[in-house]
Structure 1
Amino acid sequence: LAMGPFVVFGDFEGYLHFLDAASGEPQLRLATDGSQVVGVPLLAGSTLLVVTRDGGLFAFRQN
């Protein structure tokens, strides 16, 4: 998912990775519940929504 200056994706261990869109360098990593992130993260306004295999729904918003 392209989100401003970042590319965001989830992994099999439940982390969201934010990479710099221009350089590909890692910028941030956020944890969910430890189960696989399923589907593509969704951006709703300024909130990033993520679903995990164990049924977790996580919302992240920049302060």
Structure 2
Amino acid sequence: MRDWTDAQKGKLSKHFSGLAFDVEPVPDGEAATAIKHSIARLPGLVKFLEKEGGLTHWHAQFA
């Protein structure tokens, strides 16, 4: 994959192309609300999931 373009990596996973990241969730409460609000305001955000692929983590994905 070293020679792949970002577009090629992105077809496999948005994480590989730098267009997604995951966050370990914190328990519901003021901190969780603040973190989710901050993520929601990130430029280019197109998707936010609290569960992905059967895993519990927060997934932020960008265009």
Sort the TM-score into its range (normalised by shorter chain): under 0.3
Whose Rg is larger? 2
| Structure with the largest fraction of helix | 2
TM-score for both structures, normalised by structure 1: 0.26
Higher relative contact order (CA 8 A, sep 6+): 2
The TM-score, its normalising length taken from structure 2, stands at 0.26
